[in-house]
A = this chain, B = another copy of it.
Amino acid sequence: MEFRESRVCWIKDIVVVVTGENMETMKSIIQKYQHKGISLVEAGATRHRSIFNGLKALAGDQAYCRLSRPEVVIIHDAVRPFFEEDDLLKVVRAAREHGAAGATRPLVSTVISPSTEGCLDHSLERARYRASEMPQAFLFDVIYEAYQQCSGYDLEFGTECLQLALKYCHANAKLVEGSPDLWKVTYKRDLYAAESIIKERISQKICIVMDMKEEKEHAGYLLETVLKNELNHVKVTSVVPCHDGSNIQHIILEQCYSFVCMNVMTTDFQNTQKLLGMLEESNLSVLYPVVVVSVHFLDFELGPLSQKMESLMWIRKFAVEVKKRNILLCGLIINYSQDEQKLQESLRQGAVIIAALIKERNSALLGQLLVA
Protein backbone atom coordinates (compact mmCIF):
# COMPACT_ATOMS: atom_id res chain seq x y z
CA MET A 1 0.00 0.00 0.00
CA GLU A 2 2.84 2.34 -0.90
CA PHE A 3 0.50 4.25 -3.16
CA ARG A 4 -1.65 7.02 -1.68
CA GLU A 5 -4.40 8.57 -3.71
CA SER A 6 -3.39 12.07 -2.60
CA ARG A 7 0.06 11.63 -4.14
CA VAL A 8 -1.23 11.81 -7.73
CA CYS A 9 -3.86 14.52 -7.93
CA TRP A 10 -5.07 13.72 -11.47
CA ILE A 11 -6.28 10.21 -10.57
CA LYS A 12 -10.03 10.40 -9.96
CA ASP A 13 -11.02 6.98 -8.61
CA ILE A 14 -9.15 3.91 -7.44
CA VAL A 15 -10.73 0.47 -7.64
CA VAL A 16 -8.95 -2.24 -5.65
CA VAL A 17 -9.83 -5.79 -6.67
CA VAL A 18 -9.45 -8.14 -3.72
CA THR A 19 -10.48 -11.73 -2.93
CA GLY A 20 -13.50 -12.25 -0.70
CA GLU A 21 -11.42 -13.73 2.09
CA ASN A 22 -9.17 -10.64 2.22
CA MET A 23 -11.98 -8.08 1.94
CA GLU A 24 -12.17 -7.29 5.67
CA THR A 25 -8.38 -7.04 5.99
CA MET A 26 -8.31 -4.59 3.08
CA LYS A 27 -11.06 -2.48 4.65
CA SER A 28 -9.10 -2.25 7.88
CA ILE A 29 -5.91 -1.29 5.99
CA ILE A 30 -7.76 1.50 4.19
CA GLN A 31 -9.09 2.76 7.49
CA LYS A 32 -5.77 2.47 9.35
CA TYR A 33 -3.76 4.32 6.71
CA GLN A 34 -6.55 6.80 5.99
CA HIS A 35 -6.70 6.15 2.24
CA LYS A 36 -9.37 8.16 0.46
CA GLY A 37 -11.43 7.61 -2.71
CA ILE A 38 -11.01 3.84 -2.91
CA SER A 39 -13.70 1.38 -4.02
CA LEU A 40 -13.37 -2.34 -3.31
CA VAL A 41 -14.47 -4.98 -5.80
CA GLU A 42 -14.40 -8.74 -5.34
CA ALA A 43 -11.79 -10.64 -7.37
CA GLY A 44 -12.51 -13.41 -9.88
CA ALA A 45 -10.83 -16.82 -10.09
CA THR A 46 -8.13 -15.69 -12.57
CA ARG A 47 -6.15 -12.56 -13.31
CA HIS A 48 -8.26 -11.56 -16.30
CA ARG A 49 -11.57 -12.23 -14.51
CA SER A 50 -10.42 -10.01 -11.64
CA ILE A 51 -9.44 -7.17 -13.95
CA PHE A 52 -12.78 -7.51 -15.78
CA ASN A 53 -14.62 -7.15 -12.43
CA GLY A 54 -12.67 -3.97 -11.74
CA LEU A 55 -13.52 -2.55 -15.17
CA LYS A 56 -17.23 -3.35 -14.72
CA ALA A 57 -17.27 -1.26 -11.54
CA LEU A 58 -15.82 1.69 -13.48
CA ALA A 59 -18.10 1.30 -16.52
CA GLY A 60 -20.88 3.32 -14.93
CA ASP A 61 -23.55 1.10 -16.48
CA GLN A 62 -24.48 -0.81 -13.35
CA ALA A 63 -27.30 0.35 -11.10
CA TYR A 64 -25.41 0.15 -7.79
CA CYS A 65 -22.31 1.93 -9.03
CA ARG A 66 -21.34 5.40 -7.83
CA LEU A 67 -18.34 5.65 -10.20
CA SER A 68 -18.45 7.33 -13.60
CA ARG A 69 -16.83 5.93 -16.73
CA PRO A 70 -13.30 7.39 -17.19
CA GLU A 71 -11.61 8.29 -20.46
CA VAL A 72 -8.42 6.42 -19.53
CA VAL A 73 -7.92 3.59 -17.06
CA ILE A 74 -4.60 2.46 -15.54
CA ILE A 75 -4.25 -1.20 -14.62
CA HIS A 76 -1.67 -2.02 -11.99
CA ASP A 77 -0.55 -4.90 -9.72
CA ALA A 78 -0.11 -4.70 -5.95
CA VAL A 79 3.05 -6.80 -6.42
CA ARG A 80 4.78 -3.82 -8.05
CA PRO A 81 4.68 -1.28 -5.22
CA PHE A 82 7.54 0.99 -6.39
CA PHE A 83 6.31 3.05 -9.30
CA GLU A 84 6.73 6.78 -9.75
CA GLU A 85 4.19 9.32 -11.02
CA ASP A 86 6.34 9.50 -14.16
CA ASP A 87 5.67 5.81 -14.91
CA LEU A 88 1.92 6.55 -14.77
CA LEU A 89 2.20 9.67 -16.92
CA LYS A 90 4.14 7.84 -19.63
CA VAL A 91 1.61 5.03 -20.06
CA VAL A 92 -1.41 7.38 -19.85
CA ARG A 93 -0.05 9.72 -22.52
CA ALA A 94 0.79 6.80 -24.81
CA ALA A 95 -2.64 5.21 -24.22
CA ARG A 96 -4.38 8.44 -25.22
CA GLU A 97 -2.53 8.29 -28.53
CA HIS A 98 -2.46 4.53 -29.22
CA GLY A 99 -5.46 3.21 -27.27
CA ALA A 100 -3.21 1.00 -25.12
CA ALA A 101 0.26 1.19 -23.58
CA GLY A 102 2.38 -0.75 -21.12
CA ALA A 103 5.70 -0.55 -19.30
CA THR A 104 8.34 -3.07 -20.31
CA ARG A 105 11.83 -3.98 -19.12
CA PRO A 106 14.80 -5.77 -20.75
CA LEU A 107 14.94 -9.54 -20.14
CA VAL A 108 17.39 -10.52 -17.40
CA SER A 109 17.78 -14.20 -18.37
CA THR A 110 17.59 -15.83 -21.78
CA VAL A 111 14.14 -17.29 -22.51
CA ILE A 112 13.97 -20.80 -23.89
CA SER A 113 11.24 -23.06 -25.21
CA PRO A 114 11.28 -26.63 -23.87
CA SER A 115 10.29 -29.60 -25.99
CA THR A 116 7.62 -31.98 -24.73
CA GLU A 117 10.43 -34.24 -23.43
CA GLY A 118 11.80 -31.46 -21.23
CA CYS A 119 14.77 -30.75 -23.48
CA LEU A 120 15.77 -27.50 -25.18
CA ASP A 121 13.70 -26.90 -28.29
CA HIS A 122 15.04 -23.43 -29.07
CA SER A 123 16.23 -20.30 -27.29
CA LEU A 124 14.99 -16.80 -28.03
CA GLU A 125 17.37 -14.03 -29.00
CA ARG A 126 17.26 -12.04 -25.80
CA ALA A 127 17.61 -8.59 -27.38
CA ARG A 128 14.47 -9.11 -29.51
CA TYR A 129 12.11 -9.66 -26.56
CA ARG A 130 11.01 -7.69 -23.50
CA ALA A 131 9.44 -8.47 -20.14
CA SER A 132 5.94 -7.01 -19.90
CA GLU A 133 5.48 -5.17 -16.59
CA MET A 134 2.84 -2.93 -15.07
CA PRO A 135 1.41 -0.25 -15.03
CA GLN A 136 -0.53 -0.40 -18.29
CA ALA A 137 -3.04 2.20 -19.47
CA PHE A 138 -5.96 2.02 -21.92
CA LEU A 139 -8.68 4.13 -23.38
CA PHE A 140 -11.46 2.77 -21.20
CA ASP A 141 -13.74 1.94 -24.13
CA VAL A 142 -10.96 -0.07 -25.80
CA ILE A 143 -10.09 -2.36 -22.89
CA TYR A 144 -13.70 -2.73 -21.71
CA GLU A 145 -14.76 -3.74 -25.20
CA ALA A 146 -11.84 -6.21 -25.38
CA TYR A 147 -12.88 -7.91 -22.13
CA GLN A 148 -16.51 -8.09 -23.25
CA GLN A 149 -15.47 -9.71 -26.54
CA CYS A 150 -12.80 -12.10 -25.33
CA SER A 151 -13.22 -15.85 -25.05
CA GLY A 152 -13.57 -18.04 -21.98
CA TYR A 153 -10.11 -19.45 -22.79
CA ASP A 154 -8.60 -15.95 -22.68
CA LEU A 155 -10.26 -15.24 -19.32
CA GLU A 156 -9.04 -18.56 -17.93
CA PHE A 157 -5.45 -18.79 -19.21
CA GLY A 158 -4.42 -15.38 -20.55
CA THR A 159 -1.99 -13.10 -18.73
CA GLU A 160 -1.51 -10.10 -21.03
CA CYS A 161 -4.07 -7.23 -21.21
CA LEU A 162 -2.18 -5.57 -24.09
CA GLN A 163 -2.70 -8.75 -26.12
CA LEU A 164 -6.49 -8.58 -25.55
CA ALA A 165 -6.59 -4.95 -26.70
CA LEU A 166 -4.66 -5.90 -29.84
CA LYS A 167 -6.66 -9.05 -30.61
CA TYR A 168 -10.17 -7.74 -30.03
CA CYS A 169 -9.89 -3.98 -30.66
CA HIS A 170 -6.87 -3.78 -32.97
CA ALA A 171 -5.24 -1.31 -30.60
CA ASN A 172 -1.48 -1.25 -31.32
CA ALA A 173 -0.26 -1.06 -27.73
CA LYS A 174 2.69 1.30 -27.29
CA LEU A 175 5.54 -0.13 -25.21
CA VAL A 176 7.29 2.35 -22.92
CA GLU A 177 10.49 1.87 -20.91
CA GLY A 178 9.64 1.22 -17.25
CA SER A 179 11.92 2.07 -14.34
CA PRO A 180 13.96 -0.82 -12.84
CA ASP A 181 11.88 -0.67 -9.64
CA LEU A 182 8.77 -1.96 -11.48
CA TRP A 183 9.85 -5.55 -10.85
CA LYS A 184 7.34 -8.07 -9.52
CA VAL A 185 7.66 -8.88 -5.82
CA THR A 186 7.37 -12.67 -6.09
CA TYR A 187 9.79 -14.55 -3.85
CA LYS A 188 10.91 -14.10 -0.26
CA ARG A 189 14.08 -12.43 -1.57
CA ASP A 190 11.86 -9.81 -3.23
CA LEU A 191 10.33 -8.98 0.14
CA TYR A 192 13.85 -8.51 1.53
CA ALA A 193 14.65 -6.19 -1.38
CA ALA A 194 11.37 -4.27 -0.97
CA GLU A 195 12.00 -3.77 2.75
CA SER A 196 15.50 -2.44 2.05
CA ILE A 197 14.22 -0.08 -0.65
CA ILE A 198 11.56 1.36 1.67
CA LYS A 199 14.10 1.80 4.47
CA GLU A 200 16.50 3.49 2.08
CA ARG A 201 13.83 5.85 0.75
CA ILE A 202 12.64 7.04 4.16
CA SER A 203 16.25 7.47 5.33
CA GLN A 204 17.22 9.91 2.57
CA LYS A 205 16.70 12.98 4.76
CA ILE A 206 18.02 13.61 8.27
CA CYS A 207 17.06 16.68 10.28
CA ILE A 208 19.39 17.78 13.09
CA VAL A 209 17.44 19.76 15.68
CA MET A 210 19.90 22.08 17.42
CA ASP A 211 19.53 23.15 21.02
CA MET A 212 18.45 26.81 21.27
CA LYS A 213 20.77 27.21 24.26
CA GLU A 214 23.69 26.05 22.19
CA GLU A 215 26.49 28.43 21.37
CA LYS A 216 27.87 28.70 17.88
CA GLU A 217 30.69 26.34 16.98
CA HIS A 218 29.38 23.92 19.57
CA ALA A 219 29.61 20.16 19.22
CA GLY A 220 26.18 20.11 17.53
CA TYR A 221 27.64 21.82 14.50
CA LEU A 222 30.71 19.61 14.61
CA LEU A 223 28.45 16.54 14.55
CA GLU A 224 26.57 17.99 11.56
CA THR A 225 29.83 18.24 9.62
CA VAL A 226 30.85 14.67 10.47
CA LEU A 227 27.39 13.31 9.61
CA LYS A 228 27.51 15.02 6.22
CA ASN A 229 30.89 13.40 5.54
CA GLU A 230 29.86 9.93 6.71
CA LEU A 231 26.47 9.92 4.97
CA ASN A 232 27.26 11.38 1.60
CA HIS A 233 24.12 9.98 -0.07
CA VAL A 234 21.80 11.50 2.52
CA LYS A 235 20.51 15.06 2.78
CA VAL A 236 21.49 16.35 6.23
CA THR A 237 19.95 19.66 7.31
CA SER A 238 20.11 21.39 10.67
CA VAL A 239 17.57 23.73 12.23
CA VAL A 240 17.38 25.78 15.43
CA PRO A 241 13.73 25.54 16.55
CA CYS A 242 11.98 28.91 16.45
CA HIS A 243 9.75 29.97 19.32
CA ASP A 244 6.49 28.46 18.03
CA GLY A 245 8.21 25.43 16.46
CA SER A 246 6.79 26.25 13.02
CA ASN A 247 10.10 25.58 11.26
CA ILE A 248 10.20 22.05 12.72
CA GLN A 249 6.58 21.51 11.75
CA HIS A 250 7.47 22.50 8.20
CA ILE A 251 10.16 19.78 8.09
CA ILE A 252 7.71 17.19 9.47
CA LEU A 253 5.23 18.15 6.73
CA GLU A 254 7.94 17.49 4.15
CA GLN A 255 8.02 13.86 5.33
CA CYS A 256 11.39 13.67 7.03
CA TYR A 257 11.45 10.38 8.99
CA SER A 258 14.80 10.73 10.76
CA PHE A 259 15.69 13.22 13.50
CA VAL A 260 18.87 13.80 15.50
CA CYS A 261 18.08 15.98 18.50
CA MET A 262 20.83 17.86 20.39
CA ASN A 263 20.61 18.45 24.13
CA VAL A 264 23.22 20.73 25.65
CA MET A 265 22.82 19.88 29.34
CA THR A 266 23.11 16.26 30.46
CA THR A 267 20.00 16.24 32.60
CA ASP A 268 18.11 18.48 30.23
CA PHE A 269 16.16 16.82 27.48
CA GLN A 270 13.66 19.60 26.76
CA ASN A 271 14.69 19.78 23.14
CA THR A 272 13.97 16.08 22.51
CA GLN A 273 10.71 16.27 24.44
CA LYS A 274 9.48 19.23 22.38
CA LEU A 275 10.28 17.42 19.15
CA LEU A 276 8.54 14.24 20.31
CA GLY A 277 5.46 16.30 21.20
CA MET A 278 5.31 17.78 17.69
CA LEU A 279 5.84 14.36 16.08
CA GLU A 280 3.08 12.84 18.19
CA GLU A 281 0.67 15.58 17.12
CA SER A 282 1.50 15.12 13.44
CA ASN A 283 0.32 12.23 11.31
CA LEU A 284 3.84 11.49 10.07
CA SER A 285 4.38 8.08 11.68
CA VAL A 286 1.12 6.54 10.44
CA LEU A 287 2.78 4.89 7.43
CA TYR A 288 6.44 4.47 8.48
CA PRO A 289 8.29 4.51 11.81
CA VAL A 290 10.06 7.77 12.68
CA VAL A 291 13.53 7.52 14.28
CA VAL A 292 14.59 10.08 16.89
CA VAL A 293 18.15 9.96 18.27
CA SER A 294 18.50 12.10 21.41
CA VAL A 295 22.15 13.22 21.55
CA HIS A 296 23.87 14.27 24.79
CA PHE A 297 27.44 15.53 25.09
CA LEU A 298 29.56 14.55 28.08
CA ASP A 299 33.23 14.87 28.88
CA PHE A 300 34.04 11.30 29.97
CA GLU A 301 37.12 12.50 31.86
CA LEU A 302 35.12 14.77 34.18
CA GLY A 303 33.88 12.01 36.50
CA PRO A 304 32.42 8.54 36.07
CA LEU A 305 30.29 8.15 32.99
CA SER A 306 27.87 5.92 34.84
CA GLN A 307 26.47 8.57 37.16
CA LYS A 308 25.58 10.79 34.26
CA MET A 309 24.05 7.94 32.38
CA GLU A 310 21.69 7.35 35.31
CA SER A 311 20.08 10.74 34.73
CA LEU A 312 19.42 9.76 31.13
CA MET A 313 17.50 6.63 32.05
CA TRP A 314 14.27 8.58 31.39
CA ILE A 315 14.83 7.67 27.76
CA ARG A 316 13.85 4.05 28.48
CA LYS A 317 10.45 5.02 29.84
CA PHE A 318 9.82 7.70 27.28
CA ALA A 319 10.69 5.36 24.42
CA VAL A 320 8.00 2.89 25.51
CA GLU A 321 5.45 5.73 25.49
CA VAL A 322 6.22 7.10 22.03
CA LYS A 323 6.53 3.58 20.54
CA LYS A 324 2.71 3.50 20.65
CA ARG A 325 2.80 6.25 18.01
CA ASN A 326 5.37 4.39 15.89
CA ILE A 327 8.25 6.64 16.98
CA LEU A 328 11.57 4.90 17.74
CA LEU A 329 13.54 6.85 20.38
CA CYS A 330 17.19 6.08 21.22
CA GLY A 331 19.76 7.95 23.30
CA LEU A 332 23.35 8.63 22.25
CA ILE A 333 26.13 9.94 24.50
CA ILE A 334 29.09 11.52 22.73
CA ASN A 335 32.40 12.08 24.51
CA TYR A 336 32.91 15.85 24.38
CA SER A 337 36.60 15.54 25.11
CA GLN A 338 39.00 18.49 25.35
CA ASP A 339 41.40 16.33 23.35
CA GLU A 340 40.68 17.22 19.73
CA GLN A 341 41.58 13.77 18.41
CA LYS A 342 39.36 11.96 20.93
CA LEU A 343 36.51 14.34 20.18
CA GLN A 344 36.76 13.72 16.43
CA GLU A 345 36.88 9.95 16.95
CA SER A 346 33.82 10.09 19.19
CA LEU A 347 31.90 12.28 16.72
CA ARG A 348 32.77 9.89 13.91
CA GLN A 349 31.65 6.87 15.92
CA GLY A 350 28.47 8.76 16.87
CA ALA A 351 27.75 9.39 13.19
CA VAL A 352 28.22 5.69 12.41
CA ILE A 353 25.78 4.74 15.20
CA ILE A 354 23.23 7.35 14.04
CA ALA A 355 23.51 6.05 10.46
CA ALA A 356 22.90 2.47 11.64
CA LEU A 357 19.89 3.40 13.82
CA ILE A 358 18.31 5.33 10.94
CA LYS A 359 19.09 2.73 8.29
CA GLU A 360 17.99 -0.34 10.27
CA ARG A 361 14.99 1.36 11.97
CA ASN A 362 14.87 -1.62 14.34
CA SER A 363 12.39 -1.31 17.20
CA ALA A 364 14.41 -3.79 19.29
CA LEU A 365 16.85 -0.98 20.10
CA LEU A 366 14.33 1.61 21.26
CA GLY A 367 15.09 3.17 24.64
CA GLN A 368 18.74 2.11 24.56
CA LEU A 369 21.46 4.53 25.59
CA LEU A 370 24.39 4.12 23.24
CA VAL A 371 27.89 5.48 23.84
CA ALA A 372 30.25 6.91 21.21
The residues of A with any CB-CB pair to B shorter than 8 Å are: 98, 100, 102, 104-105, 107-115, 117-120, 122-133, 157, 159-160, 162-163, 166, 172-175, 180-181, 183-184, 186-187, 189-190, 192-197, 304-307, 309-310, 313, 316, 352-353, 355-356, 360, 362, 364-365, 368-371
Contacts and interface: CB of A to CB of B under 8 A. Distances in A.
A76 to B, nearest CB: 14
A369 B369 CA distance: 8
A132 B123 contact: yes
Contacts of A316: 371
Of residues A172, A306, A316, A360, which shows the largest number of chain B Cβ atoms within 10 Å of its Cβ?
A306
Contact of A304 (B113, B119, B194, B310): B310
Contacts of A369: 371
A132 B104 contact: no
B126 A112 contact: no
Contacts of A356: 362, 364-365
A107 B111 CA distance: 8
B108 A186 contact: yes
Contact of A104 (B104, B114, B360): B114
Contacts of A166: 120
Contact of A175 (B118, B133, B371): B118
A100 B309 CA distance: 67
Given A124-B129, A127-B157, 18 more contacts: A98-B119, A108-B184, A109-B133, A111-B130, A111-B131, A111-B132, A112-B163, A112-B175, A114-B130, A117-B172, A119-B174, A120-B162, A123-B159, A192-B192, A192-B193, A305-B310, A305-B313, A355-B364
A353 B364 contact: yes
Given A107-B111, A112-B129, A122-B163, A190 B193 contact: yes
A196 B186 contact: no
Contact of A123 (B163, B174, B181, B190): B163
A129 B131 CA distance: 13
A58 B127 CA distance: 31
Given A309-B306, A310-B305, A371-B316, A132 B159 contact: no
Nearest to A107: B111
A187 B180 contact: yes
Contacts of A187: 180, 183
Of residues A115, A118, A184, which shows the largest number of chain B Cβ atoms within 10 Å of its Cβ?
A118
A304 B127 CA distance: 69
A200 to B, nearest CB: 8
Contacts of A105: 109
Contact of A160 (B110, B194, B362): B110
Nearest to A173: B120
